[in-house]
Each structure stands twice: as structure tokens, then as C-alpha cells.
Amino acid sequence: MPAKKEYLSTSGQRFLKVSAGILGGLFLSVAIHLLIGSLLKSEVVVMLTSTFTAFLLWAALLAIAFLAKNGWKIWGIYLAGILICSSIIYLIR
């Protein structure tokens, strides 16, 4: 039984969701881990644990991107998170 057309997203929105999930989620998870590393002042410990937790966070952010209705909004949220983490890191250093 095919899905209703009203529930399917357009190809442009689908591309935005996929790219936000893959690239935006990856960059945001790395930015969060870099922020944690700069706050704790022990980069070695964060780098060792981030190999596991960065993948889990990336997978969660990927799933969140597909749950969103609008790809532009999820890109905006991810870019805002990246900019916030980057500016905090800049102000700490």
C-alpha cells in the first residue's frame, strides 16, 4: 500500500535533511566534544572517550534530522549550535 503524497517530503527537503544529518550532525558532535575538552582542560581524556560518544551523538543527531519537517530549520539549529560551541571555545582560550 503506497504512502499518501501529503506525508512525503520533496526531493529538496530530503536532500537538506540528509545533508544536515550527516554533515551538520558530525560537525555539531565534534564541536560539542571540543567544547567539553576545552572546559575540562584534559584533552587526552576527552579525545579517548569521544571516539565512542561522538558516534553515538552523531547517530542521535542524524535521527533528529530525519524527524524534522523542514530541512532548513534543522540546518539552522545545527549551525547555531556549532557557532555557539565555537564562540565559547574562542572566549575560553
State the DSSP string of 32-92: HHHHHHHHHT-HHHHHHHHHHHHHHHHHHHHHHHHH-S-HHHHHHHHHHHHHHHHHHHHHH
pLDDT, mean of residues 58-81? 94
pLDDT for the residue numbered 3: 67
Contact (CB, 8 A) for 28 and 82: yes
Give per-residue pLDDT as tens, 58-68.
999 999 999 98
Cell of 33: 566534544
Residue range 21-35: mean pLDDT, rounded: 94
Portion of the chain with pLDDT greater than 90, in percent? 59
Dist CA 91 CA 12 (whole Å)? 37
> What is d(CA 69, CA 8) in angstroms, rounded to the nearest whole number?
10
d(CA 30, CA 58): 9
pLDDT at residue 7 in the model: 65
Instruction: Look up the pTM and report it.
Output: 0.86
